[in-house]
Amino acid sequence: MWTTGRICAATMKMSWVLLLLAAFLCPVHCMTREERQKLRDQVVEMFDHAYRNYMDHAYPADELMPLTCRGRVRGLEPSRGDVDDALGKFSLTLIDTLDTLVLLNKTEEFEAAVRRVLSDVRLDNDIVVSVFETNIRVLGGLLGGHSMAVMLREGGRRMLWYEDELLHMAKDLGLRLLPAFNTSSGLPYPRVNLRHGVRGPETRTGTETETCTACAGTIILEFAALSRFTGDPIFEDHARRALDFLWEKRQRNSNLVGTTINIHSGEWVRRDSGVGAGIDSYYEYLMKAYILLGDDLFLQRFNIHYASIMKYISQPPLLLDVHIHKPLLPARTWMDSLLAFFPGLQVLKGDIRPAIETHEMLYQVTKKHNFLPEAFTTDFRVHWAQHPLRPEFAESTYFLYKATRDPYYLEVGRTVLENLNRFARVPCGFAAMKDVRTGSHEDRMDSFFLAEMFKYLFLLFAEGDDLPFDIEDYIFTTEAHLLPLSLSTAPRSQTTPAANSTAVEELDDSNFDWTCPNTHLLFPDPAFPRNFRDPIKIAVDKSCPRPSPIREPGMGRLPLRAQDFMANNPEHLELLRRMGVSLIHLKDGRVQLLEQHASQAVSAIAAEDGMRFMQEMMELSSQQQKEQLPPRAVQIVSHPFFGRVVLTAGPAQFGTDLSKSSTGVRGFITVAEPYSGCAELTNAEFVQGRIALLQRGQCMFAEKARHIMKAGAIGGIVIDDNEGSSSDTAPLFQMAGDGRSTDDVTLPLLFLFHKEGNILLEALREYREVEVLLGDKARDRASLFKGKALPGALLDGSGDTEEGDCSTEQKDQGQPEPASSPPPDQSQPSTQEPDQSETAAGEEEEEKGEEVVAVAPPKEASESAAQTEAKEEPSSDKDPDRLLDALLADWQEDLEAFRQMEKDEL
């Protein structure tokens, strides 16, 4: 079994090999000391630009919005969904940056920043935050800042006034995170209220049932450090318990873990496994927990996992997700950018060759697009085009340079630096890339950009004497916060025995051969890194050739592609104009392309691009029509509608397939809060067990579905935000996914245009408890109310029959209703239902009729209806009966339209 001493001895043995390697490589590729110093100084200048603009324009807000030069305050800006869970109104960027200031020799600024944190930051805000993000960014930032303050204080020149105030804040925050761990499994809830904890009505959280593996498995470094610093073992014990549970739940045949897990049952919710998003830092923390704490158990578990990763997931230079139960079966054909950390972890493991190969693949993709896209395919094309200035590629570059001393990685770092300055730098900081293909920006500068990116770039170019302390005395957390290795010798009071210990016989001794850089690979040929890189460079070029200089119609940029076109993007509309493509804006917010006129294009090349665009758009439209799903139905089954009102709904390309359900999904409806559904629901207790109503816009449909699922909804209905839109005039709308796997969405989601959605909302305002049935078609009342007594009006069509008076239902439902049927449908004979009775009259009045945007019936019909209804119970001054008539007439039209669409599909 390996010990820390054995690892250190192997590392010392490697030092002369690395020097020999550097001596062979330097004459050809070496960067001069002056060049490195210039790049080092450039890193510091870039950091100053980002940090200064945050302090000038954003502080005390959590993050800087660099395009608008203001701070991002949660609740004041439009919600971005789960991304905003990192924001807790605790000056996130300042805390996340504390130890970066010291590393970059800005000790004066560090001292001022610590004083600001102590005087301004509150941790008891009534706000729901991510346990994972708050742990790695805020708790890690406070502990890293404390480590730096202690180091400076012991140096005798700075921070002499410091009395562990940051550590006290860290413990306060740790105690606020602990309620999240109050589960039977020990896995934490994904979110916690900083003031109220979890599982109370005031917490607005605690209803979640699942979390990602990385979210539960990336706690141990910060919590163990907090326990070792304070002497309180409770934090480390909780983190260890969560790791023990994840280890116990691994798939025993493949020794892999899934992406998301049920925090109560331990069942895997998503069974795809990789080294990217959702799992990444779980593996990282197993290895680093061994390095920091010296516990062999973590190394043993990591080695077992790593062997399976290299057996199933690693396909050099690719890292492809697989299914944990069928690890030879790929789960996807694309990779996400978060896996860029893995070559750096492989360096810590000592497995250099695959680290070089994967890093080179990532570098070639980066050179094609200036940045690493958020996701890219196995043939190295863009899958998700965003790039939020992630630091993982720079992290692996630093570790590979440190392991090999190959100057090639200094050139890689130079490329990263130059691209940040050329494409991401803006007057108020650095802006994330909204699309790496077009170079468009997003108004965000995440705190991890300051916490991680500048640390790794500075260390890459700095010499040993540029650093204010010995970096070898510290370990980096996943947020690049610095924790001292001396914590391994700090006492730990073990209150609970270690569970699920790994038997030594499970291990293959060969796993330990690579605990330090692999001498078998390093020794024979000093030029070996280049030998690995060149074939990968050629392979990437062949799979995805570098594009010729980007051209716009008449302006030297790449023409717009049909699959990328967005009707609400002004830049896209301007490109169409330049290509001579004419269009019109429809009332429902859509855009209709008419034709392309070469004479109206700005140039012959632009005209040619316009013709190609129109051809692509026609092919895309034809393909979408072939993939068109049939319409769905929203049937109102509660009093006083009893199933006669059916609204035509558009389907989703994900979630429950209602066409395969014989019963559909039935439940009461409630409006989600926020109505957009783009953030965690604040009224989850009301949504649970119900069908949530949501408004279209602000985020992807799949994101809305995930949020209502977390709140416990059994279904969802998205209502169009384009006023006046209707299924009468618009083609069937079907909701697409978000480009990611939507296998985790297991509830039905339907789409209603504005008019039909308003019918539901009006019914909800009037009757409060409205029950609907989501199905692939309308159900007859016999199946809806089987075994239940129905109101007389539903049985014999008599509008005067009281609800308690029941008679025999008509056998021939296709027969027209008798003259005593309620007047609303007597006034609209053309929309008479052939197989359903009419609604009972004399029900409660409709409120605020002016808000109903459904098409009104003819005036004389409404008057006739009003006169007939006057025989019933008195109505209010707002004349709700007339509104009810109009609603029923529109509902009849909707039902007929729905039936016609069903016939068309057949």
- Of the residues 82, 85, 360, 374, which is catalytic? 374
Integer Rg of the chain from CA: 32
Question: Are the C-beta atoms of 234 and 178 separated by less than 8 Å?
Answer: yes
Strand partners, 476: 482
- Of the residues 237, 272, 392, 796, which is catalytic? 392
Q: Which of 69, 61, 124, 48 shows the shortest CA–CA distance to 95?
A: 61
SS3 375: strand
Q: Catalytic: 673?
A: no
Question: Are the C-beta atoms of 322 and 277 separated by less than 8 Å?
Answer: no
Token pair in block for residue 739: 């480009």
Q: Which of 180, 179, 183, 109 shows the shortest CA–CA distance to 145?
A: 109
- Of the residues 237, 280, 321, 443, which is catalytic? 280
Concatenate the DSSP letters of all residues of 638-706 into one string.
Answer: STTTTT-EEEEEB-BSSS--GGG-SS-EEEEEEE-SSTT--S--TTHHHHTTSEEEEES-SS-HHHHHH
The C-alpha atoms of residue 135 and residue 123 are separated, in whole angstroms, by 13
Question: Are the C-beta atoms of 229 and 249 separated by less than 8 Å?
Answer: no
The C-alpha atoms of residue 896 and residue 906 are separated, in whole angstroms, by 15
The C-alpha atoms of residue 477 and residue 285 are separated, in whole angstroms, by 8
Q: Which of 243, 250, 232 shows the shortest CA–CA distance to 287?
A: 243
The tokens 């009093």 sit on which residue?
A: 639
The C-alpha atoms of residue 257 and residue 268 are separated, in whole angstroms, by 8
Q: How far is CA 815 from each of CA 538, 711, 884, 891, rounded to the nearest angstrom?
A: 75, 45, 24, 20
Q: Catalytic: 34?
A: no
- Beta pairing class for 440-442 and 432-435: antiparallel
The C-alpha atoms of residue 781 and residue 787 are separated, in whole angstroms, by 11
Question: Are the C-beta atoms of 422 and 480 separated by less than 8 Å?
Answer: no
The DSSP call for residue 139 is I
The C-alpha atoms of residue 295 and residue 286 are separated, in whole angstroms, by 10
Would you call 450 exposed, middle or buried from its count of C-beta atoms within 10 A (0-12, 13-18, 19+)?
A: buried
Concatenate the DSSP letters of all residues of 74-133 into one string.
Answer: BTTB---GGGGGG--SS-HHHHHHHHHHHHTT-HHHHHHHHHHHHHH--S--S-EEEHHH
Strand partners, 375: 336, 384
Q: Catalytic: 208?
A: no
- Beta pairing class for 318-319 and 322-323: unpaired
- Of the residues 133, 236, 351, 846, which is catalytic? 133
Question: Are the C-beta atoms of 269 and 246 separated by less than 8 Å?
Answer: no
Q: How far is CA 632 from each of CA 172, 717, 718, 745, 892, rounded to the nearest angstrom?
A: 52, 11, 13, 18, 16
Length of the chain: 906
813-817 LR contacts (CB < 8 Å, sep 24+): 813/780, 813/837
Residues annotated as part of the active site: 133, 280, 374, 392
